[in-house]
Structure 1
Amino acid sequence: MSDYLPFIVLGITTGSIYALAAMGLVVTYTTSGVFNFAHGAVAMVSAYAYYTLTVDWGLAPELAVFLVVLGLGPLVGVIVDRGLFRRLQGAGSAAYVVVSIGLLVALQGLVIIMYGPTSKPVPPIFPQKVVDLGAVNVGYDQIAITTIAAGLGLGLALFFKRTQTGLDMRAVVDDPQLAELTGANASRTTTLAWMLGSSFASLAGVLLAPTLGADALVLILLVVQAFGAAALGRLVSLPIAYAGAIGLGVLGQLSIKWVSEYASGQTWLSGLPQSLPFIALFTVLIVSKKGSFKELTKSVQARSSSQTLAPGSRRFPAIVLTVIVGVGLVIPSLATDSRTTTATTAMAMLIMFSSLSLLLGLSRQISLCHAVFVALGATTLGHLQADGVPFLPALLMAGLVVVPIAGLLAIPAIRLSGLFLALATFGFGVLFQNLLYNTSWVFGTSGQVAVERPTLFGNLLDGTNEFYFFVLAIAVASVVTVELVRATRLGRLLRATADSNVAVETLGINTTAARTVVFCVSGFFAAIAGGLLSSQVTTVGTSSYSFFQSLIWVAVLVAAGSATLGGAALATTMLVAIPAFFTDADVINYQTMFFGIGAILLAQAPNGLVGLVTNLPNTRLWGRMADDGPARAGAHATRRRQRLAPTSATPTSVPATGATR
């Protein structure tokens, strides 16, 4: 037993930090109805702020912690609540998911621009001493972290049960209008909750920083492990979230010992310790009884049923497709080899964005694991080629391999929606990356897979132009298929289901098959895109398809326009063309930051930038484009028709002395 005590102590310490982050999530969600995907980003920013105060400015660690946790944390909470989420009142849950993802992506890009991609060493907060308990040595920092988490957890529970402000917070989420009638200030109460939740996230980030260093991606990933603990408490229970975090922390540390001793030959188990919170997240969402997880956003935001993402065009985009094909055919004659190579990547990415738009723009389901589909398409193609399968059959088989996996994800798509579907797909994406990327049937222990260029009519398409036209042909065929899905009965059914699933089901139509098919079709074409991208570079590695790529792709597609082919084409241009023309090392980081900002600003715009440009002729003022441009344009057209109507039309008045019949 003594061999396990150090792992248990370390697990309780780690779990205590998870508990702080999880309790912060529960506080903001139960009060505002908003689940903040950027919770880890708040912790990351706080860790870097602590680094700046201690290392760059030379402040004492205690003072730095005070300024960050009680100064920066509440300030971020106010900004997030009043500057971001408050303006979304009346929007559907998808708007909040997109904005929080945009905030995460923007903050990560900003921090890397300011501090660089490498980890920064952070000075400790507590004395580096230990207490000898006989069987195990316990550090002062471990005692302090555990005590702080337990004390704050108890304090929160008492705060919600014994104080008027805590009671107001619980009342606001149920019915803000009724809470106002009892004397509670719903707006102020929600802001206080965000200040409190962000302070908890800041504290978690500061406590992690001395051990892990200030690292943008690592801090985000570790703090979001609190999602699993929060899910165990169904996002509303502080005691269960706290206990779940401690349990996951202990199990994670014990699994490290178990893997090192008993499963050292199983490479896929090496990612088990950091995967346990995401196993809990995904499992709880999948196996819970339907209706167990209820979104609070609608009750908070005036019970509006409005949606974030535009329903998309019902017509086949022949003009847009013709322009894409025309431009694609002339590129090799006008561009250099390097530019043609960029265009080849763009055509493959166009397939990926088109497949993602089936979920975001057509069925309005947010999937945060698209990088998994792309990675599987790339690696499966390489493995099949190594077994002697020709390129085209191998590419088709790579797409088909992903179909049952996408069908598996259709299970939460059927049972869940909005926030909880996004959480389930996010957990699946991180889980797949941690557990299966290093297995032999994905990237293997080397972390990379070789892929060969295709052979057509006995000739290897190793030339830049030849391979480009090959990818262009597949891209056109794929995009046409995707657009046919939009324009056919399946597309109409998915649009109707997105508008009101209950209304469709009352007509006797089973929406389960439609949701399953759209996930499978989307996964298939994402895998095709992955195969083409991998054959472009001939070697593909794990770093190309991390879970964070899925978040960036969602952000850029929402900013560009997720409902039409034009939006997918614009997203491709924004993601691929800009780094090709600007070679500065910081361009990608600035690009990431602006994608996040774009998703924040355009979450409620009709079809992103494409929608704004399309609706521009119908608006009077630029500032009214996203809000009431279409409505005002329609009213203006009605008044104009009335003015031009013949005077012999239906009379609008009768003589004063006449009788009305």
Structure 2
Amino acid sequence: MEQFLTFGIVGLSTAAVYAVIGSGLVLTYVTTGVFNFAHGAAGMLAAFCYWQFTVGWGWPVPAALAVVLLVLAPGFGLTVERVLMRPVQRLGEAERLVMTVALLSGAIAAARWIWNPNEPRPLRVFFADRPAIDLGPATVTWHQALTLAVAVAVAAGLWFVLNRTRTGAEMRATVDDRALVQLTGADPVRASRVAWILGTQLAAIGGILIAPTVALDATQLSLLIVSAYTAAVFGRLRSLPLTFAGAIVVGCLESYLTGYLPQNDYLPGLRLAAPALLLFLALLLFRQPRLRGRDRRLVQVPAPTMRGTAIFAVSTVAFGVLLATVLGEADLVTYAPIFSLGIVALSYVPLAGYAGQISLCQLSMAGIGAVVWGHLGAHGELWALAAAIAVAGAAGALIALPALRFSGVYLALGTAAVAVVLDRWIFTLPAFDVLGVRIALFDQGSVEMAGPRILGLRLDSAGELMVLAAVCLGLASLAVAWLRRSGFGRRLIALRDSEAAYATLGGNLLAAKVAVFALSAGIAGLGGALYGMQQQSITAEQFSLVAGLPIFLVAVIGGLGAVGNGLFAGTAFVGPNLLIGLASWTQNIVSALPALAGMGLGHNPEGIVSRFRRDWEPLGRDRIALPALLGALALGWVLRLGDLINGWTLLVGSLLVGLALRRYAAARQAPKAEPDIPVEWWGVRRPWRASDEEVLARGIAGG
């Protein structure tokens, strides 16, 4: 009994932290309509700053708390609201979600940049020098008592602010109708600002309270938000009392699993994955309320031409051959994932771009494909590649079945929970038997990977595998373009526009979602298998949720409806490694680039690929510039093969020549300015236009 009470007290103190963080998450969502995936990252940064002030610089604890909670946290919240969230407030739910995901990824990268993750940073609990409080058979530390008291004070304070103050009424009304709130004389911008300040302060309080009891690690502290997500879902993203009840369930579950979970090789990861499992179950069991502030402003997805896509596919293969023949072996190892990770990024196009289904577990699906190839394709059997695609597709179909109940933020939460369960538990399992079949994943270590055997030839060099990945990316791009032009592709676009209308008109939601999830997971599985071949050895950490966030961001930046997004995303994600080769100190800058680019989404919500296509289209149509570019590339390639120039000279020179010829082609095809012809000569010196009559009528009326 004493042990049971002890674990119960530990669980309640942990639950108090989750309640504080979860209440800040609910506050931000209820008042602004933004589900902040970076909420836990704000608490993580506050904990690191608190450590820096108290341990690193020796400040007194009260001074450090005052600076973090009253200066840094409000400043961070104001900056996020003003710089990041306000520009995308007019956009749809998906854009606001992507912005907070970018903030999460950027905060983790910034923390690793500022504080070396390889150095331990212990942090003392509050009132560590005071004896514990005896409560019969159990004891309570002063830190635990403080945590519980803070949670109660936060609950009372938030209830009073939201229900008994004018500011709280403004905050609750702003998300429903900003224009109507303005008519009453209230200021919706001020209400959003207050919500972000309070939400960030609550995240900071939770981060500081829990940091002494866990490792001060950027990723671990940021992903504690999964437990707060679960508490918030218990509260239906709107009820603070239910959020606190959910926090108690999560905190006690974690504590009792720690104390009573049987000790064997298969269950340790279950305790780490328990909050994510509980989150997924809560999403399934609880009826989801209407998403507040959910306005859907969809970007059109034009159907690509098969001729243009075929030219793009050939160009992709040519690019792969060019890189494989001009780069050295070390550079090939670095840049080979351009095409394999590009395939993973391409998997977002049918799923999110066509069907409008947000998924944060695509890299996990790639991990499934990689591990299947590693075990079945050890001798290069090509059928194992088909098996990797099929198994990953089956995993995607399984995710789609419960996803029928999810949409928008809930779907993102559900797929994030799946990714956390996979990388914290499933991928860490040792080999086991199911119905006499031996199943091995990463087997608590790494999996050795081999290249395939095609037509009796073993592809095992970095250059050969790069060309293979480029061919697969080109073929996958053709398949995705064909899908968009097919009847199924048109049905997916209809599904994205309105699920209710799709079902009303006779569409089968279950079949459509299962098919598109399976298809996109199969594409990701292909990319994961190719990536594993190039890496030669893979671990579970390479396919975690945090590792997949930058790829997701780069894919969104490229444009989820663009077939060329695979090549763009792979190049944009892997290409900046060039900076690390030139200067090793740029590694932290490179890791933060996807997040920084994602934060700029509000300025170009349609994506960069469509803009690139418009900018380079004149070059493709010009009968002088295009042959000149192809000739320059061929000449440079011959010079490189003859060792007269190095690979980087060829690539940089080709880029400069391409930019110059693009400007030349754009200037040649620019419409010539029409001379200013007096009105009396309209129809004589230039053809008469239908609009001229209206212009003349307005001129006569104005005279």
TM-score, normalised by the number of residues in structure 2 = 0.83
Change beyond 3 A, Cα 1:106–1:4: same
**Does 2:293 match 1:297?**
yes
Letter paired with 2:688? T
> Which deviates more from structure 2 when the two are superposed, residues 594-603 or residues 408-417?
408-417
* 1:615 CA displacement: 4.8
Which residue in the other structure is 1:301 paired with? Answer: none
Report the Cα distance in structure 2 between the residues aligned to 1:581 and 1:202, rounded to whole angstroms: 34
**Does 2:271 match 1:269?**
no
**Does 2:331 match 1:332?**
no
SS at match of 1:268: coil
CA deviation profile, 1:6-52 (whole Å, cap 9, x unmatched): 21111111111111100000111111111000001101111111122
> Which deviates more from structure 2 when the two are superposed, residues 127-136 or residues 15-24?
127-136
Which residue in the other structure is 2:88 paired with? Answer: 88
- Maintained 8 Å contact 1:43/1:223: no
- Maintained 8 Å contact 2:337/2:570: no
2:426 aligned residue (422, 428, 436): 436
Change beyond 3 A, Cα 1:123–1:312: farther
Which residue in the other structure is 1:646 paired with? Answer: 687
- Maintained 8 Å contact 2:270/2:425: yes
- Maintained 8 Å contact 2:356/2:495: no
Which residue in the other structure is 2:359 paired with? Answer: 367
Letter paired with 1:427? A
* 1:433 CA displacement: 1.8
Report the Cα distance in structure 2 between the residues aligned to 1:328 and 1:399, rounded to whole angstroms: 22
**Does 2:393 match 1:397?**
no
Change beyond 3 A, Cα 1:310–1:360: farther
Which residue in the other structure is 1:593 paired with? Answer: 592
* 1:400 CA displacement: 0.8
Correspondences of 1:108-187 after superposition (within 5 Å): 108-118=108-118, 119-129=120-130, 130-187=132-189
Report the Cα distance in structure 1 between the residues aligned to 2:204 and 2:575, rounded to whole angstroms: 36
Which residue in the other structure is 2:14 paired with? Answer: 14
Change beyond 3 A, Cα 1:351–1:652: same
- Maintained 8 Å contact 1:552/1:595: yes
Report the Cα distance in structure 1 between the residues aligned to 2:614 and 2:395, rounded to whole angstroms: 38
The count of corresponding residues between Structure 1 and Structure 2 is: 626
* 1:604 CA displacement: 5.6
Correspondences of 1:209-228 after superposition (within 5 Å): 209-228=211-230
Report the Cα distance in structure 1 between the residues aligned to 2:387 and 2:554, rounded to whole angstroms: 29
Change beyond 3 A, Cα 1:333–1:208: same
Letter paired with 1:311? V
Letter paired with 2:343? I
* 1:585 CA displacement: 4.5
Report the Cα distance in structure 2 between the residues aligned to 1:208 and 1:337, rounded to whole angstroms: 46
Which residue in the other structure is 2:494 paired with? Answer: 496
Which residue in the other structure is 2:77 paired with? Answer: 77
Change beyond 3 A, Cα 1:649–1:370: closer
- Maintained 8 Å contact 2:579/2:590: no
SS at match of 1:59: coil
* 1:231 CA displacement: 0.5
- Maintained 8 Å contact 1:22/1:241: yes
**Does 2:275 match 1:280?**
no
Change beyond 3 A, Cα 1:333–1:553: closer
Change beyond 3 A, Cα 1:458–1:12: same
* 1:367 CA displacement: 0.8
SS at match of 2:140: strand
> Which deviates more from structure 2 when the two are superposed, residues 447-456 or residues 80-89?
447-456
Change beyond 3 A, Cα 1:191–1:332: closer
> Which deviates more from structure 2 when the two are superposed, residues 91-100 or residues 206-215?
206-215
Q: Unaligned regions of 5+ residues in structure 2, if any?
A: 432-438, 618-669
Report the Cα distance in structure 2 between the residues aligned to 1:120 and 1:599, rounded to whole angstroms: 30
Letter paired with 1:117? P
Which residue in the other structure is 2:628 paired with? Answer: none
Correspondences of 1:243-254 after superposition (within 5 Å): 243-254=245-256
- Maintained 8 Å contact 1:558/1:603: no
Report the Cα distance in structure 2 between the residues aligned to 1:284 and 1:442, rounded to whole angstroms: 30
Which residue in the other structure is 1:548 paired with? Answer: 546
Change beyond 3 A, Cα 1:500–1:586: farther
How much identity, in percent, do the aligned residues show?
31
Report the Cα distance in structure 2 between the residues aligned to 1:362 and 1:224, rounded to whole angstroms: 28
Report the Cα distance in structure 1 between the residues aligned to 2:386 and 2:110, rounded to whole angstroms: 39
Change beyond 3 A, Cα 1:93–1:243: same
* 1:343 CA displacement: 4.6
* 1:217 CA displacement: 0.7
Change beyond 3 A, Cα 1:536–1:70: same
Indicate the RMSD between aligned Cα atoms, in angstroms: 2.9
* 1:505 CA displacement: 4.0
Report the Cα distance in structure 1 between the residues aligned to 2:236 and 2:325, rounded to whole angstroms: 58
CA deviation profile, 1:36-93 (whole Å, cap 9, x unmatched): 0000110111111112211333211122112212222222221222221111132110
- Maintained 8 Å contact 1:93/1:418: yes
* 1:503 CA displacement: 4.1
Letter paired with 1:377? G
SS at match of 2:356: coil
Report the Cα distance in structure 2 between the residues aligned to 1:66 and 1:318, rounded to whole angstroms: 61
Report the Cα distance in structure 2 between the residues aligned to 1:14 and 1:247, rounded to whole angstroms: 10
Which residue in the other structure is 2:105 paired with? Answer: 105
SS at match of 1:540: strand
Which residue in the other structure is 1:378 paired with? Answer: 370
Which residue in the other structure is 2:231 paired with? Answer: 229
- Maintained 8 Å contact 2:358/2:412: yes
- Maintained 8 Å contact 2:46/2:68: yes
Which residue in the other structure is 1:311 paired with? Answer: 301
Structure number with larger C-alpha Rg = 2
CA deviation profile, 1:570-623 (whole Å, cap 9, x unmatched): 2111222322563344544322312111111124624422233445699xxxxx
2:344 aligned residue (340, 352, 359): 352
- Maintained 8 Å contact 1:229/1:277: no
Which residue in the other structure is 2:629 paired with? Answer: none
- Maintained 8 Å contact 1:39/1:223: yes
Which residue in the other structure is 1:487 paired with? Answer: 485
SS at match of 2:564: helix
Which residue in the other structure is 1:321 paired with? Answer: 313
* 1:383 CA displacement: 2.3
